[in-house]
């Protein structure tokens, strides 16, 4: 699942394994736009997801209302590096496809008859009761909203959390480590981490050569405040602002929270964090070849600093890539825990981007890169689920302090509570978008939803109608969920899906 990928350097990720900037990496790497996945990409993501999900046991009730108990299976959370490698391959496939551009006892399931009756009553209620729509505020942080506003309350609640500014949070720890490296390499480098995430579409897209009709600009991919204002989809949205201050600012790193509609699994989240960096230099002082050499030397040093590795053919390698804002474009991979893993995306800044920042490419040139911070933090600290970064559970937060990176602290998993699984099967209209479906589930379930996975898809040979069946995995990271409470939220999901996405439940 997923929408069209935005060209970003960042390993984001969301998530943690895919993102955009020159922020290329996340969900959770340098600049990258979130995009629709090809079958190969979905398969790779599914494989990575399955590897890291872990325990699938526990009681469950299907959407039809029939009880089904699932045996508990002790599955291990996948190693961070293996996760990273699979997600890295998935991201590359996604870019090609779009044309480059969380130990209590188990709650016993209810009786079958009661479940069927409850389901039938809920179905009648769905047909009889109008579904609530998104509550739109008149303004958001001083910016007026309009009919294009599509930001749910759960996403709005993430604004101002400032995880990067918390010195004992894994993301703050990693950001401090990146700054430490660049302070040593470039004493004049400016560090920016307090920019508001509400930006104009010009800065977020136009200035970076993202075409007006690119799918990453769709409301199914991007959160809009109004027609011309969005929650930034990458930290690259601030790139031209600081480039315009050249030569007062010749190099800078910009980090912050970024927002994208996306699928639901252990590595994707609607809010994640990126860091992008830019270095500018006069053409009279450095040739294009020397700019590329400086880029590679600096970023190999960063990778060595983060992964305690030594640059070389056996440990690091460069691959050609594509981003609309750099030319040429590259990705850096590191050999880690027995496999190659993408670390960042980068490139020489495109002449048009320089011009959009008011610079003359005949006089000034430079390079840019991007990192997905969740993605790297998951690997470096062994964190298996991106939702944990937002958790207030002391069993998570008390494992880290400001010296966790230096002391090579690894996350110690605590009890994993049993899941409740729900299947949703439906005939879908042509306008159906997987991201919109996931957004409704996130809005109703929040962080209690661990994963949404496509199980089956087919088109009827006679009617031409398309059907999709998704499995929704509900699992709270701090307690056991009961069937009753999940059923309530699941019915709300079904009501909204029918009303808002115009599907026909099967």
Q: What is the CATH number of the domain that holds 434?
A: 3.30.70.380
Contact 141, 156 (CB under 8 A): no
Q: How many domains is the chain built from?
A: 2
Residue 234 lies in a domain: yes
Provide the greatest CA pair distance for the chain: 80
- Tell which of 351, 379, 407 closes a domain: 407
Residue 413 lies in a domain: no
Residue with more model confidence, 6 or 401: 401
Of 46, 43, 48, nearest to 453 (Cα)?
Answer: 46
Residues 480 and 351 grouped into a single domain: no
Of 257, 259, 258, 260, nearest to 220 (Cα)?
Answer: 260
CATH number of the domain within which 218 lies? 3.30.930.10
Residue 9 lies in a domain: no
Strands (E), 388-448: 420-428
The pLDDT value given to residue 314? 86
Please report which helix (H) or strand (E) contains residue 309, including its range.
Answer: none
Residues 333 and 463 grouped into a single domain: no
Pick the most confident of 26-30, 38-42, 114-118. 114-118
Contact 456, 506 (CB under 8 A): no
Residues 424 and 318 grouped into a single domain: no
Residue 314 vs residues 82, 309, 318, 340, 398: alpha-carbon distances, Å: 18, 11, 12, 10, 37
For residue 205, pLDDT over 70 is answered with yes
pLDDT cut 90: percent of the chain above it: 71
- The arithmetic mean of pLDDT across residues 232-237, rounded, is 97
Structural domain of 319: 116-407
- Cβ-based neighbours of 308, under 8 Å, separated by 6 or more: none
Write out pLDDT tens, residues 397-428: 999 999 999 999 999 998 889 999 999 999 99
Give the position of tokens 């918390």. 166
Q: Is the dihedral of CA 78, 83, 85, 86 positive or negative?
A: positive
CA distance 275 to 379: 16
- The arithmetic mean of pLDDT across residues 11-30, rounded, is 35
- The arithmetic mean of pLDDT across residues 318-325, rounded, is 96
- The arithmetic mean of pLDDT across residues 299-315, rounded, is 91
Write out pLDDT tens, residues 345-378: 999 999 999 999 999 999 999 999 999 999 999 9
Residue 342 lies in a domain: yes
Residue 278 lies in a domain: yes
Contact 340, 334 (CB under 8 A): yes
Residues 318 and 430 grouped into a single domain: no
On the 0-12 / 13-18 / 19+ scale of CB atoms within 10 A, 286 is middle
- Tell which of 407, 431, 462 closes a domain: 407
Residues 145 and 244 grouped into a single domain: yes
Contact 294, 41 (CB under 8 A): no
CA distance 428 to 34: 22
Residue 98 lies in a domain: no
- Tell which of 366, 384, 407 closes a domain: 407
CA 423 to chain centre: 24
CA distance 113 to 66: 8
- Cβ-based neighbours of 324, under 8 Å, separated by 6 or more: 7, 101, 208, 209, 210, 350
Residue 46 lies in a domain: no
pLDDT cut 70: percent of the chain above it: 74
Model confidence, pTM: 0.76
pLDDT band at 145 (very low <50, low <70, confident <90, very high): very high
Residues 447 and 375 grouped into a single domain: no
Residues 357 and 461 grouped into a single domain: no
Write out pLDDT tens, residues 33-79: 333 333 333 333 333 333 322 222 232 323 333 233 333 333 333 43
Q: Both tokens of residue 232?
A: 């930034």
Phi, psi angle pair for 301, to nearest 5°:
-65, -40
The pLDDT value given to residue 498? 97
CA distance 23 to 255: 9
The pLDDT value given to residue 135? 83
Give the position of tokens 């115009």. 502
Residues 216 and 362 grouped into a single domain: yes
Residue 317 lies in a domain: yes
Residues 258 and 287 grouped into a single domain: yes
For residue 275, pLDDT over 70 is answered with yes
Terminus-to-terminus CA distance in the chain, angstroms? 20
Q: Both tokens of residue 300?
A: 């190999």
The pLDDT value given to residue 8? 61
For residue 19, pLDDT over 60 is answered with no
Residues 393 and 461 grouped into a single domain: no
- 3 state DSSP class of 112: helix
Contact 31, 10 (CB under 8 A): yes
């Amino acid at each position: 699942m997923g929408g069209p990928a935005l060209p970003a350097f960042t390993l984001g990720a969301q998530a943690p394994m895919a993102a955009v900037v020159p922020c290329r990496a996340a969900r959770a790497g340098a600049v990258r736009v979130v995009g629709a996945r090809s079958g190969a990409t979905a398969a790779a993501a599914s494989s990575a997801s399955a590897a890291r999900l872990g325990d699938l046991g526990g009681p469950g009730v299907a959407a039809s209302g029939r009880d089904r108990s699932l045996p508990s299976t002790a599955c291990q959370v996948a190693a961070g590096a293996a996760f990273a490698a699979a997600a890295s391959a998935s991201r590359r496939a996604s870019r090609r496809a779009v044309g480059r551009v969380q130990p209590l006892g188990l709650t016993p399931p209810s009786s079958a008859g009661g479940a069927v009756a409850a389901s039938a009553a809920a179905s009648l209620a769905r047909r009889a009761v109008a579904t609530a729509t998104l509550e739109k505020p008149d303004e958001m942080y001083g910016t007026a909203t309009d009919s294009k506003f599509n930001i749910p309350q759960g996403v709005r609640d993430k604004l101002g959390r400032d995880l990067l500014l918390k010195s004992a949070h894994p993301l703050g720890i990693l950001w401090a480590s990146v700054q430490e490296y660049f302070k040593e390499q470039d004493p004049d480098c400016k560090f920016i981490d307090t920019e508001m995430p509400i930006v104009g579409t010009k800065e977020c897209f136009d200035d970076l050569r993202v075409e007006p009709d690119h799918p990453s600009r769709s409301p199914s991919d991007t959160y809009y405040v109004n027609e011309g204002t969005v929650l930034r989809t990458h930290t690259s949205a601030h790139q031209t602002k600081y480039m315009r201050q050249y030569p007062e600012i010749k190099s800078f790193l910009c980090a912050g929270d970024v927002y994208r509609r996306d699928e639901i699994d252990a590595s994707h989240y609607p809010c994640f964090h990126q860091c992008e960096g830019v270095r500018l230099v006069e053409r009279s002082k450095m040739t294009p070849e020397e700019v590329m050499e400086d880029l590679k030397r600096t970023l190999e040093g960063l990778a060595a600093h983060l992964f305690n590795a030594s640059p070389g053919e056996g440990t690091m390698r460069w691959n050609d890539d594509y981003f609309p804002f750099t030319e040429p474009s590259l990705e850096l991979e590191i050999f880690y825990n027995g496999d190659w893993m993408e670390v960042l995306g980068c490139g020489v800044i495109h002449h048009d981007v320089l011009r959009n920042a008011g610079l003359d490419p005949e006089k000034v040139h430079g390079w840019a890169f991007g990192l997905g911070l969740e993605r790297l933090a998951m690997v470096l600290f062994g964190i298996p689920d991106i939702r944990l970064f937002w958790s207030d559970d002391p069993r998570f937060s008390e494992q880290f302090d400001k010296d966790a990176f230096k002391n090579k602290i690894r996350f110690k998993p605590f009890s994993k509570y049993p899941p409740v699984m729900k299947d949703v099967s439906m005939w879908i209209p042509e306008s159906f978008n997987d991201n919109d479906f996931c957004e409704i589930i996130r809005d109703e379930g929040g962080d209690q939803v661990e994963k949404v996975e496509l199980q089956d898809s087919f088109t009827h040979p006679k009617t031409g109608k398309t059907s999709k069946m998704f499995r929704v995995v509900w699992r709270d990271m701090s307690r056991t969920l009961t069937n009753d409470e999940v059923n309530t939220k699941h019915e709300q999901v079904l009501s909204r899906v029918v009303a808002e996405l115009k599907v026909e439940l099967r």
